Amino acid sequence: MKPAGHLQIAPSLLSSDFAALGDAIARVEAGGADLIHVDVMDGHFVPNITLGPPIVKAIRKRARVPLDVHLMIESPDLFIEAFVEAGAASVTVHAEAVVHLNRTIQLIKSFGARAGVALNPATPVVALEEIAADVDYVLVMTVNPGFGGQKFIEPVVPKIRHISQMVRERGLPVEIEVDGGIDEKTAPLVVAAGARILVAGSAIFGKPDRNAAMEAIRNAVQVLNA
């Protein structure tokens, strides 16, 4: 794991060519990707369907960096073990999808993975109050989950600041990850608010030169992250 405060870029494979995932991974790793973000959707929690543990296992064989698995699914408890076995280093569940969040977080940890909680744009910070001390990171959604290439929801930025302040005041080693509409323009806003793990899909895979796209995001936040 990188030291706290270090900026990490997590390209989201959702916007890559699914027929050439190995190539997509190799290219972003060559450009310095810190994590590979894998979006799992079930057609119930979000109005889209993507992939399951067999594909994560195939991705794991090609990736050298850790796999950051974002579960946008109902009843994640049923699948957490399979995703960790398939190679997930970190597993994120949505606060809105889970009834017994404490149990789910402990379950992720029991399989040896890092555990994170995601909050949709409309979910308030109070949802984290009683679980913040148990999670390794919080994923703040800056779009409504389900699709790549959506517009960044700027009013979420104060929520990132609020969470950052809360974990600092409590002295918790909780990192803040952001996901949705992150590019060289929005990255400085979320980093200034306290985010340190940046997921980006279309801003990387939508560009012909992925290295340049990642570099542009890093350069945009360089001053803030110095």
The kind and range of the H/E element at 159 are: helix 157-170
11 interacts with ligand DX5 by CB under 6 A = no
Positions marked active-site: 39, 179
The smaller minimum CB distance to ligand DX5, of residues 103 and 151, is found at 151
Q: Running DSSP on this structure, what letter comes out for residue 12?
A: B
210 interacts with ligand DX5 by CB under 6 A = no
70 interacts with Zn ion by CB under 5 A = yes
The smaller minimum CB distance to ligand DX5, of residues 15 and 90, is found at 15
Q: Which does 181 bind (CB under 5 to 8 A by kind): ligand DX5, Zn ion, none?
A: ligand DX5
Dump strand ranges (E) for 45-142: 67-72, 88-94, 114-119, 137-141
In the bound complex, what is the minimum distance in angstroms from residue 70's beta carbon to Zn ion? 4
Cα 128 to chain centroid distance, Å, stands at: 17
For residues 152-181, which are near Zn ion according to CB under 5 A?
A: 179
Q: In this structure, are residues 137 and 127 in contact, taking their beta carbons and an 8 Å threshold?
A: no
39 interacts with Zn ion by CB under 5 A = yes
50 interacts with ligand DX5 by CB under 6 A = no
What x/- string results for residues 137 through 156 when contact with ligand DX5 is judged by CB under 6 A?
Answer: ------x-xx-xxx------
Number of residues that bind ligand DX5 (CB under 6 A): 21
Within 10 A of 149 (CB to CB), how many other CB atoms are there?
A: 14
15 interacts with ligand DX5 by CB under 6 A = yes
76 interacts with ligand DX5 by CB under 6 A = no
The kind and range of the H/E element at 103 are: helix 101-110
Q: Which does 25 bind (CB under 5 to 8 A by kind): Zn ion, ligand DX5, none?
A: none
Instruction: Say which amino acid occupies 50.
Output: T
In angstroms, the CA 222 to CA 216 distance is 10
In the bound complex, what is the minimum distance in angstroms from residue 48's beta carbon to ligand DX5? 8
Q: Which does 76 bind (CB under 5 to 8 A by kind): ligand DX5, Zn ion, none?
A: none
What is the edge-to-edge ordering of all strands in the sheet holding 36-41?
Answer: 8-11, 197-200, 175-179, 137-141, 114-119, 88-94, 67-72, 36-41
Q: In this structure, are residues 52 and 73 in contact, taking their beta carbons and an 8 Å threshold?
A: no
- Tokens 């079930």 belong to 42
The footprint of ligand DX5 (CB under 6 A) covers 12, 14-15, 37, 39, 70, 143, 145-146, 148-150, 179-182, 199-203
Residue ranges that bind Zn ion, judged by CB under 5 A = 39, 70, 179
